[in-house]
């Protein structure tokens, strides 16, 4: 069984039911590696990013019956007339705004004809407006700095949705929600450093040297304060939750 807590919970729910033909509807290295280790008949993985696809082809070994596709769910021809026993939408809902703005309410109706049996949707609950402690405040500051850098680079931020919104829209799309649960998140150094690297990467798209210097100063200040907090609190920072929804074709 995987050590990832969310994928492990999906495996427990799946139990002895065969995975069959599987669609990874918003693939990335994390989900594709997990799915490639399961006993599936065939695997189709979709990403809207050509760069992501190139990287995955180098990092993840696929079988002859598996496919890695570049496409956008706004394209009605993508996987038209196909269907899958199991569909995974791993953080896909939040990522939609980066590739197909304002399409979130159409995502589940778009996926519904592709699902023969079961859909697993995984996502991040939106962050609260304020935190209850120092660690949470640092994570919120990090999220705002990351999004500011993304917007200044003229790129689009992801937009997360809560669990109840997701369940409502799955039901409206013709699914039956079988189960749903949330898992608290604990943030540690790997996450914080990864998000700060996103900030740094976006600086390369800016031309204003004074602005770049100011943002770089903010990045280094936040890195120093966050690492100091983790040294004092090695158990990590608890803030927000991930959610999982299990839905079946009605």
- What confidence score (pLDDT) does residue 1 get? 55
Mean pLDDT to the nearest integer, 69-95: 97
| Position 2 confidence tier, pLDDT thresholds 50, 70, 90 | low
Q: If DSSP codes are grouped into helix, strand and coil, which group holds residue 126?
A: coil
Architecture of the 5-249 domain? 3-Layer(aba) Sandwich (3.40)
Q: Listing from the earlier edge strand, what are the strands of the sheet with 115-124?
A: 67-70, 42-47, 21-24, 84-90, 115-124, 237-249, 175-187
Rounded Cα–Cα distance for residues 216 and 212 (Å)? 6
Q: Taking the model in full, what pTM does it have?
A: 0.93
- What confidence score (pLDDT) does residue 3 get? 62
- What confidence score (pLDDT) does residue 250 get? 83
Q: If DSSP codes are grouped into helix, strand and coil, which group holds residue 180?
A: strand
Is 46 buried (19+), middle (13-18) or exposed (0-12) by CB count in 10 A?
buried
Rounded Cα–Cα distance for residues 80 and 236 (Å)? 44
| Position 39 confidence tier, pLDDT thresholds 50, 70, 90 | very high
Across all residues in the chain, what is the average pLDDT?
96
- Taking a C-beta distance cutoff of 8 angstroms, is the pair 85, 117 a contact? yes
Mean pLDDT to the nearest integer, 231-235: 97
- What confidence score (pLDDT) does residue 182 get? 96
Query: Is pLDDT at 218 greater than 60 in this prediction?
Result: yes
In Å, what is the CA distance from 57 to each residue of 66, 72, 247?
12, 18, 30
Mean pLDDT to the nearest integer, 219-246: 98
pLDDT-above-70 percentage for the chain: 99
Mean pLDDT to the nearest integer, 204-213: 97
Count of other CB atoms within 10 angstroms of residue 29: 12
DSSP result, 56-119: HHHH----TT-EEEE--TT-TTTTTT--EEEEEEESHHHHHHHHSTT-HHHHHHHHGGGEEEEE
Separation of CA 199 from chain center: 18
pLDDT tens for 93-126 read 999 999 999 999 999 999 999 999 999 999 999 9
């Amino acid at each position: 069984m995987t050590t990832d807590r969310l994928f492990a919970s999906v495996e427990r729910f799946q139990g002895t039911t065969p995975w069959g033909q599987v669609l990874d509807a918003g693939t990335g290295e994390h989900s594709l590696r997990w799915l490639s280790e399961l006993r599936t008949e065939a695997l189709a993985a979709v990403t809207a990013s050509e760069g992501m696809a190139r990287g995955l082809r180098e990092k993840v070994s696929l079988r002859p019956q598996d496919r890695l596709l570049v496409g956008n769910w706004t394209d009605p021809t993508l996987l038209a007339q196909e269907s899958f026993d199991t569909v995974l939408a791993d953080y896909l809902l939040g990522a939609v705004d980066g590739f197909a703005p304002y399409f979130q309410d159409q995502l589940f109706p778009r996926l519904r004809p592709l699902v023969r049996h079961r859909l697993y949707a995984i996502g991040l609950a939106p962050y609260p407006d304020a935190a209850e402690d120092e660690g949470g405040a640092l994570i919120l500051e990090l999220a705002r700095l990351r999004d500011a850098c993304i917007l200044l680079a003229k790129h689009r931020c992801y937009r997360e949705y809560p669990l109840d919104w997701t369940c409502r829209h799955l039901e409206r799309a013709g699914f039956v929600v079988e189960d749903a649960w949330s898992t608290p998140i604990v943030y540690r150094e790997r996450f914080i450093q990864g998000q700060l690297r996103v900030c740094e990467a976006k600086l390369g798209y800016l031309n204003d040297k004074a602005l770049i210097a100011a943002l770089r100063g903010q990045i280094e200040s936040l890195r120093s304060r966050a690492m100091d907090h983790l040294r004092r609190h090695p158990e990590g920072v608890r803030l927000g939750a991930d959610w999982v929804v299990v839905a079946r074709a009605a």
